[in-house]
Amino acid sequence: MKKFIQTIKNIWKIDELRQRILTTLGLILIYRFGSYVVLPGVDPGAIYHNANTAQSTEGLLGLLDMFSGGAFSNASIFALGIMPYISASIVVQLLGMAIPYFQKLQKEGESGRKKINQITRYLTVLITLGQAPAYIRNLIATLGPTYTHNVTGETLSSIPLLDPAVNQATIFWLMSVITIMSGTMFIMWLGERITEKGIGNGISLLIMIGIIAKLPFALIAEFASRMEGQGGGLVLFLIEIVVLIFIILLTILLVQGTRRIPVQFAKRIVGNKQYGGVRQYIPLKVNAAGVMPIIFAQAIMFIPLTLAGFSSSDTMSGFAAAFGDFTGFWYNFVFATLIILFTYFYTAITVNPTQMADDMKKNGGFIPGVKPGKKTAEFIDGVMSKIVLPGSIFLSIVAILPALVILTGVNSQFAQFYGGTSLLILVGVVLDTLQQIESHLLMRHYDGLMKSGRIKGRSSMNMAG
């Protein structure tokens, strides 16, 4: 405890680090405030009524609501959150693996990075223009034509109108689309300012804050349910907390797990100085794909359900019922299988053993006992094949844990923190941010955050996803 307090004092002593942390907290506060600002023309009473009477959002919509920190269900100006930008980034990343033009931009350094960022922003606008009308239509359908006031019992209209006397639906739709698009671009700007002026990766931090914002409400709901007559009491609630901490520790092992391959560099003497002759290591991550396989698998799982919704046949209805149950066997079996397959696929396109072997050879490096060139590439590929299988299985288990936990009686909101994309993002972002803080401390000759060793974040481990 004494070391922790001293570390906090050391952080506060460093002017630049203190300013970065305060800037980050200020921008996050603006983001959270905007999450509660309702779209113009939407009745806040209808939103409040819907929040108290509707069932908790599940599936993809529940995931979007969690990532936006509740802004999605609040009909906020930040309703879509940062997800359009994330979608655009994923598309651009995939294009960089398949299209030569984007591959060329990736190799052009700073100028190429600026062009890629500009393309990503334009694509974000297009994706938001497509998602905003769908969100508004879903919002009106969710609120329904009328609702009952929770105090007076009076039946009121909940269809969003700018003027109660005149149905200006076109103006409302236009204003809402522009507002949502502006909100998404503003969040993107906040994320970039946090990255530039604050601490940590801004976009990732905003997603993490959105997830954490749901945690207190989920904890309170779970505690209340356990304290009811047949809920199990305080002991069962504490057991759930202990299990959650244990799962978080296992997830940290998954995120940080690496297989280090030794690389020896040949000695070279230039003038009176000796270069090379040292041993370094290539860290091959157990989970090199990050959260991308889960995201891809979730997207694939919702495609057949969407198609089934347009069909009236009994076969498709039965299919939709079987795969629409997020706690069902077949849904989770197919979901886990897709994650394992996508982990292999994404690792294969992101980790290039041939390029690694060529770069090693150009720099005079070699793996002890392995010939440079083709044999080195085959060796690295063999090692990756051995570590990807357990990594993909572990990742699939983490992904379906929320569904398994729900079956034990845990409420769906609290169960989301037992695994899935949310837990992996939380662990990855926290480790990344702590690693940056530790770097500032070590640069100024203060002790780091850990007694021994260093925290491994994205900077030191090249985290994927």
The residue ranking higher by pLDDT, 245 or 408, is 245
- Which position has the token pair 């993002």? 425
SS3 label, residue 366:
strand
Residues 103-122: tens digit of each pLDDT: 788 777 778 888 888 888 88
Distance CA 199, CA 205 (A): 9
CA angle 94, 99, 103 (to 5 degrees): 85
Distance CA 17, CA 9 (A): 12
Residues 285-294: tens digit of each pLDDT: 888 877 778 8
SS3 label, residue 228:
coil
- Which position has the token pair 């497509």? 130
Residues 6 or more apart whose Cβ sits within 8 Å of residue 454: 435, 438, 442, 448, 460
Q: What is the DSSP string of 77-134?
A: TTTTTTHHHHHHHHHHHHHHHH-HHHHHHHTSTHHHHHHHHHHHHHHHHHHHHHHHHH
Long-range contacts of 367-370, Cβ-Cβ distance < 8 Å, separation of 24 or more: 367/261, 367/262, 367/263, 367/264, 368/262, 368/264
pLDDT band at residue 307 under the 50/70/90 scheme: low
Q: What is the DSSP string of 208-268?
A: HHHHHHHHHHHHHHHHHHHTSTTS-HHHHHHHHHHHHHHHHHHHHHHHH-EEEEEEEE--E
- How many angstroms separate the Cα of 419 from the Cα of each of 83, 106, 241, 289, 325? 20, 33, 13, 16, 18
pLDDT band at residue 165 under the 50/70/90 scheme: very low
Residues 210-261: tens digit of each pLDDT: 888 888 888 888 888 887 766 667 888 888 899 889 988 888 888 888 888 8
Which residue type does 445 have?
H
pLDDT band at residue 46 under the 50/70/90 scheme: low
Beta partners for residue 38, in sequence order: 76
Domain 232-465: give its CATH code. Answer: 1.10.3370.10
pLDDT band at residue 309 under the 50/70/90 scheme: low
Homologous superfamily, domain 13-214: SecY subunit domain (1.10.3370.10)
pLDDT band at residue 4 under the 50/70/90 scheme: low
Q: What are the respective helix, strand and coil percentages of the chain, to the nearest 5?
A: 70, 5, 25
**332 near 397, Cβ under 8 Å?**
no
Domain boundaries in the chain? Answer: 13-214, 232-465
Distance CA 135, CA 57 (A): 14
Distance CA 322, CA 330 (A): 7
**How high does pLDDT run on average in the chain?**
76
SS3 label, residue 270:
strand
Residues 6 or more apart whose Cβ sits within 8 Å of residue 205: 24, 28, 191, 194, 198, 429, 433
Query: For residue 385, how many other CB atoms are within 10 A of its CB?
Result: 12
**pLDDT above 90 as % of the chain:** 3
CA angle 332, 334, 336 (to 5 degrees): 65
**264 near 279, Cβ under 8 Å?**
yes
Predicted TM-score of the model (pTM): 0.74
User: In the predicted model, is pLDDT for residue 275 greater than 80?
Assistant: no
Residues 141-152: tens digit of each pLDDT: 776 555 444 444
